[in-house]
Amino acid sequence: MKILLITFSIILFFSFRNCFVSGEKHKSGLSESTVTISISAVGDIMCHTVQFEYAKVSRDSFDFNPVFRNVSKHLSKSDFTFGNIETVFAGKKAKYTGYPRFNSPSDLLYALKNAGFDLLTTSNNHSLDRGEVGVLRTINELNKRSLNYNGTYVSQADHDSIRIFNIKGISIAFLAYSYGTNGNPIPKGKSYLINLIDYESIHRDIQAAKSANPDIVLVHFHFGDEYEREPSDYQKQVVDSTIEMGADIIIGGHPHVLQPVKFIKSHKSVFDSVLVAYSLGNFISNQRKKYTDTGGILTISITKNLFDNTLKISNVEFIPTWVFKGNTWNKNEFVLLPSMSAMNDSSITFLNKNHIDKMEESIRDTKEVLSKYYYYVSFN
């Protein structure tokens, strides 16, 4: 099994193995004996019909950049940022659509790149909404914009290439799996197109990743029951099994609402306990029901002792976000807001009392669910 090693370095861009190229965003957190990095994760990135209609600027042009204008500074300041992209980019000829079979303008990818994303996980129940063609074109569009991807693949060789990112001297292997494809068939003989949750495959991939001696193995799962704020028995079983296989961090998506963050003791991890975020909810979507318009940016700080190579999770921070939908005095827009700071930001003039009330409610809901098991999360 091939390993893709992607190194983030200051100023210079280095390419390793299969020519995946990336660059480091910030100077090292290096002291005499330790280095600390920050990685940020967000939940489901969706694009319903009204979202691309609001973003349309001309017949064949869309601008999604304003959606992220208030959160991009938080995404960009991390050394590495990733999220689940729950749509495909099959092109205009395949017709742009929202739910139930997504296909979005590729302009969204430009906005995500500009906002600070380094990696987009592409394995979810909508990965095959436009079949094999959609999978392949989505990856091609990601490559055009120098956005890394994992979870769907163009070939068996691509599938077997484990993504390992070297971030300021700390290497992280990223794996991703989905519970299914909404019944959309995987072409015969092309199971490599998407990673599905299968214990044998997960174990094989973790072992293959570990053979390259990364510092950390991070696994993303698209799983669980939609709109449920507690993890299902299935989620817990998958997480427990994956921890036993040697995962160090587990991030989840699909329920479209936030679920608890907790530490689970492990004798197989490089850490004393594995950090598990069962679901990071929606990052951006048109879902407006209670809990579904709320998400956030989970930032994990990891410190490595350069003398003995031991690692620890030194901080966990969560920035709650809320999705504004409405008129911003300029036009109808979707705007992602860091809810705790947005309420006191005088430059955001389009919020009325109803908006403020909803943001306050979303903050309370967020603190309630994320503090349920792990009360050390700092909120900003």
Structure tokens at 223: 């799983």
| Per-residue pLDDT, 373 | 75
- For helices 199-210 and 233-245, give the axis angle rounded to 10 degrees: 30
Cα distance between residue 291 and residue 210, in whole Å: 37
Confidence of residue 122 (pLDDT cuts 50, 70, 90): very high
Query: What domain range includes position 233?
Result: 3-379
Give residue-wise pLDDT tens across range 88-97: 999 999 999 9
Q: Mind listing the pLDDT tens digit for each residue in 260-310?
A: 999 999 999 999 999 999 999 999 999 999 999 999 999 999 999 999 999
Residue from 118, 154, 110 nearest 18 by CA: 154
Q: What is the pLDDT of residue 375?
A: 52
pLDDT, tens only, 179-231 = 999 999 999 999 999 999 999 999 999 999 999 999 999 999 999 999 999 99
> Is omega for the bond preceding 100 within 30 degrees of 0, making it cis?
yes
Residue 129 belongs to domain with CATH number: 3.60.21.10
pLDDT, residue 344, reads 87
pLDDT at 116 over 90: yes
Q: Give the phi and the psi of residue 241 in degrees, each rounded to 5.
A: -65, -40
Q: What does DSSP say about strands 311-327 and 294-305: parallel, antiparallel, or unpaired?
A: antiparallel
Residue 372: per-residue pLDDT: 80
pLDDT for 67: 98
Neighbours of 16 (CB within 10 A): 15
> In angstroms, rounded to a whole number, what is the distance separating the alpha carbons of residues 376 and 3?
35
Confidence bin at 136 (pLDDT 50/70/90): very high
Number of domains in the chain: 1
Could you report the per-residue pLDDT of 49-58, keeping only the tens digit for each?
999 999 999 9
- pLDDT recorded at residue 57: 95
